[in-house]
Amino acid sequence: MHTLFAAVTGIYEWAPNLVSSRLSPGGALAAWVDTHRSLSGRTVLDLGAGTGVSALALADAGAQVVAVGASRPSLDVLESRRGDRKVDVVEADFRDLRLDATFDIVTLSRNTFFLAQSQDEKIELLRSVARHLKPSGGAFLDCTDPAEFLRTGGDATSVTYPLGRERMVTITQTSDRATQAVMSIFLVQSATELTAFHETATWATLAEIRLLTRMAGLAVTAVNGSYAGEEYRSRSREMLVVLERKCP
Ligand SMILES: C[S@@+](CC[C@H](N)C(=O)[O-])C[C@H]1O[C@@H](n2cnc3c(N)ncnc32)[C@H](O)[C@@H]1O
């Protein structure tokens, strides 16, 4: 079993179709959010929007979305795929974001939370979530369960996918229990070219997330183990966390 972790801006530009089909759930994420808070007519802030796989799916479910990302090339892809959906794009760092608006829903999709590497950065990101959440709003952390990163016992695992007819991508991952880090190397190959890029992410356990969210003025109010809304259990592959503002 391979854990897929799309954290690299480059993979979004190289392979948006791969990202939508395999690495990022898009529609499944929107369906999960919708079981907790109806998306129809709601305002959504999608932090770490990338090429918009999640932001576009959230808009398709009826939401009005503000998509925040740090990578201009990824946001260009998002804008080129947006069509007439209600998705506004903001190029900014999500940690110190200060929009003059609050939202019904804030999403951090497909392990974006783990891209805040240190605990301080994670708290900063969660404070940004809290700043932009309406008092009655809900925030959604869409994470791979950390146990998935450890199943191989620290050995590197590789998986190769075709990218259309002429290229393929090999994703190699290794995890380090001591630092809670997942290292991913992406190799994109064609007959004439080889391009490599890498990414490190740092996971947090549910216990850590509960603590960090409290420090940011939020509270964990639900956890699911799948996008279908199954209960979170010891063998769940996903760790899907719902946050609300903590009552004073
Ligand atoms: C794991 S990807 C998820 C992309 C998208 N949400 C999806 O579901 O496909 C994380 C995204 O966050 C962006 N990102 C990373 N650090 C960021 C930061 N400090 N501020 C804003 N965006 C950031 C990356 O460029 C990348 O596009």
Question: For 57-102, how does the pLDDT look when each residue is reduced to its tens digit (9 = 90+)?
Answer: 999 999 999 999 998 988 999 999 999 999 999 999 998 899 999 9
CA–CA dist 203, 226 (Å, integer): 18
End-to-end CA distance of the chain: 43
CA–CA dist 213, 192 (Å, integer): 47
Q: What is the pLDDT of residue 129?
A: 98
Whether the per-residue pLDDT at 142 is higher than 80: the answer is yes
Same domain, 131 and 94: yes
Q: What is the pLDDT of residue 26?
A: 83
| CATH code for the domain in which residue 176 is found | 2.20.25
Q: Is the CB of 128 under 6 A from ligand 1?
A: no
Same domain, 125 and 153: no
- Kindly report the pTM of this predicted structure: 0.89
Q: Is the CB of 69 under 6 A from ligand 1?
A: yes
| pLDDT band (50, 70, 90) for residue 24 | low
∠ CA 40-45-48, nearest 5°, is 130
Q: What is the pLDDT of residue 15?
A: 53
Report the atom number in ligand 1 closest to the C-alpha of 23. Answer: 9
Q: What is the pLDDT of residue 243?
A: 98
Same domain, 90 and 155: no
| CATH code for the domain in which residue 41 is found | 3.40.50.150
Residue 98 lies in a domain: yes
| CA-nearest residue, atom 13 of ligand 1 | 48
Whether the per-residue pLDDT at 7 is higher than 90: the answer is no
CA–CA dist 89, 76 (Å, integer): 9
Q: What is the pLDDT of residue 247?
A: 65
Q: Is the CB of 107 under 6 A from ligand 1?
A: no
Residue 1 lies in a domain: no
Same domain, 86 and 122: yes
Residue 3 lies in a domain: no
Q: Is the CB of 3 under 6 A from ligand 1?
A: no
Range of the domain at 109: 9-144+205-245
| Overall number of domains in the chain | 2
Residue 209 lies in a domain: yes
Same domain, 89 and 183: no
User: What three-state secondary structure class fits 101?
Assistant: coil
Same domain, 174 and 234: no
Same domain, 17 and 126: yes
Same domain, 67 and 136: yes
Residue 99 lies in a domain: yes
Q: What letters, b where the CB count within 10 A reaches 16 and e where it falls short, cover 172-192?
A: bbbbeeeebbbbbbbbbbeee
Question: Structure tokens of 244?
Answer: 């609300």
Report the atom number in ligand 1 closest to the C-alpha of 97. Answer: 20
Q: How far is the CA of 42 from the centre of ligand 1 (A)?
A: 22
Residue 2 lies in a domain: no
Q: Is the CB of 110 under 6 A from ligand 1?
A: yes
Q: What is the CA radius of gyration of the chain?
A: 17
Same domain, 122 and 16: yes
Same domain, 97 and 189: no
Residue 4 lies in a domain: no
Same domain, 13 and 46: yes
Same domain, 136 and 158: no
CA–CA dist 104, 94 (Å, integer): 17
Residue 139 lies in a domain: yes
